[in-house]
Amino acid sequence: MVKSLPLRSEVKVEETWNLQDLFKTEEEYNEAVAELTKEVDAYALKFKGNIVDAASAIEALKGYERIVANMVPVGAYTSLSASTDQTNDEAQMRSSKFGSTAAKINSQLSFVNSELSELPAETLEAAMNQSEDYENFLEKLIRKKPYQLHPEVEKTLAAFSATFNAPYGLYNTTKMVDMSFDDFEVEGKQYPLSYVSFEGDWESEPDTAKRRAAFEAFSAKLREYQHTTAKTYDMQVQTEKTTADLRGYESVFDYLLFNQEVDKSMYDRQIDLIMEELAPHMRKYAKLLQKVHGLDKMTFADLKIPLDPNYEPKITIEESKKYIDDGLAVMGEHYTNMVDRAYDERWIDFAQNKGKSTGAFCSSPHGYHPYILISWTGSMEDVFVLAHELGHAGHFYHANAEQNVFNARPSMYFIEAPSTMNEMLMANHLLKNSEDPKFKRWVISSIVARTYYHNFVTHLLEAAYQRKVYERIDEGGSVNANVLNSLKREVLEDFWGDDVEINDGAELTWMRQPHYYMGLYPYTYSAGLTISTQVSKRILKEGQPAVNEWIEVLKAGGTKSPAELSKMAGVDITTEKPLRDTIAYIGELIDQLVDLTEEIESVKN
């Protein structure tokens, strides 16, 4: 039975994260913001118009690095405190106020990139040779030189950054504050519904009548907000297109992929190969679900049900720690110590409460420990989600310790590799420790349903849909709810064919993800999982040497391109091979599920 969510003030403190590690009091936070604005004023006075040679460039970058480092805890505290309760007026007003402050600071500091970009390439190269710390930063700046605008234009654009980020804030407000779900009814009985309970419980509810009724009620509420949400999204993509045009990129794709340090062929390959070659495997999985559950037909609303709901272990927060420690032990003591600290020092926000952001994420402020948000439901799936987020934490725990604030963050293309790696290690550990066919089937179905379905299907179908949206925008078009519904339905029907009925409401799935406000993010999940699948196979086969190489990759942070980072771990993502191997591996897992199901059924009969 799904209960109504408590208010944030009603949850246990030990199930919340400790933001006092960033600032002990509101007063301390306000003082840091005031100090930051003073520091920026003094910095601009000293350096504006005075970055003229290699020596002054290095001196300016030292001061700039200090300011960026001081902005980190303020920005993290602002966003993290708002994410746990979107209905908290104080947190939302703080967030809005800091958004304006940050826009002003970015505008004041825009001269740094402008003045550096205007220096001759040989001067920048001289600065790189004289300071290893800023080599990576300056190399990226040289690469960006052709797309840099006049300093006054850069200043104006930076001043408007809060406005340009407004669609994301508006999306979240619509979703988490305005949208309120009524109870739904099945056979005369009422059941409560919320965003969190639908995605955390009802979507995978084994009772078909309840699951489909919850899907209908959830979709009906989404539909009421489709036009506002579509308009919000159109604002986002039009802003990106205008920026791409202003800066002289050939297309909005080139603009959005530029910072990822990959070309469009790698982006297209990820989408096209999965749409074409993974689809048959996933249709086979859908048919298996239908057969095992005895469904009259397989609909979109049925795709998230577990293969064996009766075998889904319930896990407490405390029990999850042992599972994760054991599963990630292969990564070494330093890594598992970080996991233990995450639990013991309240780096993780487990609580379920009204107004909390949906899904899960990890924020890793440079100079501080990571923070993880999750809404703990007690299912084993939560253990995989938490292992995933601890993968992000482990990545930046290593990168932040080794790299300065400019160098720690790698390309978005690579960002999901360390997180999905942990899911693979967890699953492999569980499989290794049992010969029970029911347990093995449960573990493999968890990998397929959680790790691969989530990253290679849910997010990849978002990516295929997103590509269609940007193609339309690139041609000068716009989007509304009807267009977005039509594009989403088309992608779902292409992938699932006749094996899954794309029922009413499925087309509204585009309304559910914040990823569309983060550039070309959705496809990177499958890119990261392609890398981590191949590296996890190496770790299983080769042991410690492969682990050591992977730790070095984590430490490298953003100092290398995705292709270089992957190569360090023994994977060549410039070819189709890793992706084809991963798709074949998913096919093998689904075949194993079919075989195990036959074995279990034959014993039953």
Residue 499 lies in a domain: yes
Same domain as 596, residue 466: yes
Assigned domain for 336 exists? no
CATH assignment at residue 158:
1.20.140.70
Same domain, 456 and 576: yes
pLDDT of 5 reads 85
Q: In the prediction, which pLDDT does 370 show?
A: 98
Residues 351, 340: Cα–Cα separation, whole Å: 18
Domain containing 470 equals 165-177+229-293+410-605
Q: Looking at residue 477, which CATH number applies to its domain?
A: 1.10.1370.20
Residue 435: CB atoms within 10 A of its CB come to 7
Last residue of a domain, one of 162, 192, 212: 162
Domain identity same for 219 and 233:
no
Distance (Å, rounded) from C-alpha 47 to C-alpha 112? 8
Regarding whether 484 and 589 lie in a shared domain, the answer is yes
CA distance 384 to 447: 9
Query: By the 8 A CB rule, do 267 and 255 touch?
Result: no
pLDDT for residue 124? 95
CA triple 28-32-35, angle to 5 deg: 135
pLDDT digits (tens, 9 = 90+) for 303-329: 999 998 887 778 999 999 999 999 999
* Pairing of β 361-363 and β 371-373: antiparallel
Total-model pTM: 0.86
Closest to 547 in 3D by CA, of 332, 389, 326, 325: 332
201 and 249 together in one domain: no
Is the CA virtual torsion 26, 28, 30, 36 positive or negative?
A: negative
Query: What pLDDT score does 161 carry?
Result: 85
Same domain assignment for residues 158 and 288 = no
Write out residues in the chain with pLDDT < 70, as ranges: 1-3, 604-605
- Which are the contacts of 133, defined by CB distance < 8 A and separation ≥ 6? 61, 65, 404, 406, 407
Closest alpha carbon to 567 in 531, 542, 536: 531
The CA distance from 35 to 70, in Å, is 9
Q: What is the pLDDT of residue 2?
A: 47
* Helix 26-47 vs helix 54-83: crossing angle, to nearest 10: 160
- Position 3 scores a pLDDT of 60
Q: What is the largest CA-CA distance in the chain?
A: 83
Element (H, E) at 190: strand 189-191
- CA 445 → CA 178, 284, 389, distances in Å? 36, 13, 20
Domain identity same for 254 and 269: yes
Any idea what the Cα angle at residue 247 is, between residues 514 and 476, rounded to 5°? 65
**For the chain, what is the domain count?**
3
Sequence-ordered alpha helix ranges (H) in 259-354: 264-273, 279-293, 317-327, 333-344
Of 115, 130, 162, the position where a domain reaches its end is 162
Both 426 and 498 in one domain: the answer is yes
Q: Judge if 219 and 237 occupy the same domain.
A: no
Tell me if 301 is assigned to some domain: no
Is 372 a member of any domain?
no
β-pairing verdict for 189-191 and 184-186: antiparallel
- Tens of pLDDT, residues 391-448: 999 999 999 999 999 999 999 999 999 999 999 999 889 888 878 888 899 889 988 9
Tokens of 327: 């599963």
What CATH number should be reported for the domain holding residue 189? 1.10.287
In a domain, 434, yes or no: yes
- Residues whose CB falls within 8 Å of the CB of residue 235, separated by 6 or more in sequence, listed in order: 166, 167
CA–CA gap between residue 216 and residue 55 (Å, rounded): 64
Burial of 433 (C-beta count, 10 Å sphere; 0-12/13-18/19+): exposed
Question: Which residues lie closer than 8 Å to 504 by C-beta, 6 or more apart?
Answer: 216, 219
Question: What's the rounded Cα separation, in Å, for the pair 43 and 340?
Answer: 40
Which residues touch 11 (CB under 8 Å, ≥6 apart)?
Answer: 351, 352, 353
Are 191 and 280 in the same domain? no
* 219 and 245 share one domain: no
CA distances from 468 to 222, 312, 474, 488, 515 (A): 22, 37, 10, 9, 15
With a CB cutoff of 8 Å and minimum separation 6, the contacts of 400 are 364, 366, 367, 408, 557
Q: Assess if residue 360 is contained within a domain.
A: no
Residue 475 shares a structural domain with residue 545: yes
Q: Give domain status of residue 2, yes or no.
A: no
**Tokens standing for residue 71:** 């902005």
3-state secondary structure 527-542: HHHHHHHHHHHHHHHH
Within a domain: 438: yes
